[in-house]
Chains A and B, each alone.
Chain A
């Protein structure tokens, strides 16, 4: 009876809202609370906690080349924390032998061991590798929970029969970790919280059966709880050193002293309270393989085939409320390497009609080395789409409103990229500089074109609307004709002596023979040289 109840209560609840990274919530519920919670006969869960004590060291070394690794192989290494004191966070066994301990300052460490090798901590790599390891651990169970910075929780109840018991599973897991050079402390227990505490308290692997759980938890030192330092200190002052001492205290008073959330942790560890954990999920991918009955020789035909498959992809995306931000296509040939086509999107989309247009442009530029035998479509990252409310269809101002819509901009930009190549369309901008060629900014158009809110000095003479990309040297004209032609000026621009692109110019507005107004300047360092720099159009 109890068993059925437990299996009913333990299930995966999909989240109703769509988070950036899809995740499932595992509801872990213990036996119904009775008057004596310690008499739990059978635990519905088995949690394996994995603590990686040298994780920062492992992560810091993960990015190294093999040569760097061999150079470091027989040297003592310490990982430094990038804080004010620059203290040792953890170190290799060799460094431990030399007397280095975590918490030593940089100077103390150098004094103890002159050839100590220091590494900087890479927290981003730690997180990334932990996520990778969590996905790797899904070999053993679908429910893996990441406990940053260096712990993993695996719910292994359902996998025990497959792997032949807890011990076999632990052996397999530790062999896998050892082969990758990862040190781990492990503990198996009936609740997630207690397994986590247990693996912090021991170096050896511990398996705690359900009956023994309260007794084992009672013997845990308070340090294993990783509670705030001031709470631990306060409890130590009461003379409390173990969890068992804590359990003997009256609940009401304890809740006032340590807060309800910590008391809840205690209840969760003993299985008196449900424990909700978020399990990691492998990023969703999409793979499609089209085996052609006949070889295709033109890209136009390939486009027709792909259009059908893109419709399938669209259906797939709509069913799951997902979008793609990149599409990879590989055209496979008989005797040649596959032709890759990559379509990058400026904004995630599920609109395959648009992707089809981009694909058409990409395909029309593709040269086929040989007929196509097989086509593969792949999307490595499926992302949540950006959803917005549509306009009421009858609203006549709707067409005006969506002009500032980034989606339309993104589609336009992608189509330009697909046909013209990247960065051919430039967006204009200004920077504060006196030199006209520096003031003018032309950067590749993107979606981040924020409004330029620069104030133009009111006394600044009017600039021409046309600017020449490079000042054009004017053929010398005699001074009289020139003087007659100059309408306004001079405006002296002398700037840039600090960065090697110094200009020293006198700008004039001149009238050309054809009636147009020119923005010309005389180079003050070569007074005979006159340049055209812009046109007042």
Chain B
């Protein structure tokens, strides 16, 4: 572009609109919001490391799914290679419409990575949640780029052992169960400090159970 045009003070360039500052997505937990700087960064890659299922990892994601519902972004949520099937009735009980959730199971690691990138690039998806234990650093970078370019939210679940290798993720955290509570160790939050947050999982269930 012509440098004189570029330096005009009152000219806004259309491409800068896509890089508009993103609003954080509230995580539903005051402690976690504080640690993350207001909430989950939207259109970013969140990497969650855990070796166990059923310790409250989906409870952590529910506020994000509800946020998309409230923002009237009625796009899809794509689940790739989840360890179990997301329970449609439970999603409904949590106020989330299961019809816009697409699930792909038994995909080869290569296909799952490809599908994740494709879903993130597509304007049809709000978020893609993938279980990619064998993802390569290049794959991670591609996923992050796809998420940033199309303003979609990416969550990757990987085993705890992956914590040793570096990752381009915007937020990186380990999830462990600690006496009926979910312990979140934030290994990396871009632009913020490391810290540990624990969330009650058990009591939240108690509140709903009769």
Query: A459 and B210: CB pair below 8 A?
Result: yes
Surface stretch bound by B, among A75-83, A153-161, A226-234, A413-421? A413-421
State how many angstroms separate the Cβ of A456 from the closest Cβ of chain B. 5
Q: Is the CB of B58 closer than 8 A to any CB of chain A?
A: yes
Interface string of A455-478 (1 = CB under 8 A from B): 010011111111111000000000
Query: B86 and A428: CB pair below 8 A?
Result: yes
Bound form: Cα–Cα A468–B78 in Å: 18
Query: B124 and A515: CB pair below 8 A?
Result: no
Q: Is the CB of B8 closer than 8 A to any CB of chain A?
A: no
A451 CB contacts on chain B under 8 angstroms:
97, 99-100
> What interface size band does chain B fall in?
35 or more
Q: Is the CB of B32 closer than 8 A to any CB of chain A?
A: no
Bound form: Cα–Cα A450–B74 in Å: 11
B89 CB contacts on chain A under 8 angstroms:
430, 436, 439-440, 456, 463
Residue of B nearest to A537 (CB): B58
State how many angstroms separate the Cβ of B106 from the closest Cβ of chain A. 8
Q: Which of B54-112 contact A (CB under 8 A)?
A: 54-59, 62, 71, 73-76, 78, 82-94, 97-105, 107, 111
Query: A426 and B103: CB pair below 8 A?
Result: yes
A409/B54 contact (C-beta < 8 A), A404-B75, A461-B209, A465-B91 known? no
Query: A534 and B52: CB pair below 8 A?
Result: no
Q: Is the CB of A405 closer than 8 A to any CB of chain B?
A: yes
A411 CB contacts on chain B under 8 angstroms:
122, 124
Bound form: Cα–Cα A456–B89 in Å: 8
Bound form: Cα–Cα A424–B179 in Å: 38
Query: B88 and A396: CB pair below 8 A?
Result: no
A466/B111 contact (C-beta < 8 A), A427-B99, A515-B180, A516-B55 known? no
B115 CB contacts on chain A under 8 angstroms:
416, 419-420, 425
Query: A469 and B73: CB pair below 8 A?
Result: no
Q: Is the CB of A517 closer than 8 A to any CB of chain B?
A: yes
Query: A535 and B54: CB pair below 8 A?
Result: yes
The listed residue (A467, A509, A535) touching B209 by CB distance below 8 A is A509
Surface stretch bound by A, among B13-21, B133-141, B160-168, B187-195? B13-21
Interface string of A517-537 (1 = CB under 8 A from B): 110000000000000001111
B→A interface (CB under 8 Å): 14, 17-18, 20, 52-59, 62, 71, 73-76, 78, 82-94, 97-105, 107, 111, 114-115, 118-119, 122-126, 150-151, 177-180, 201-202, 205, 208-210
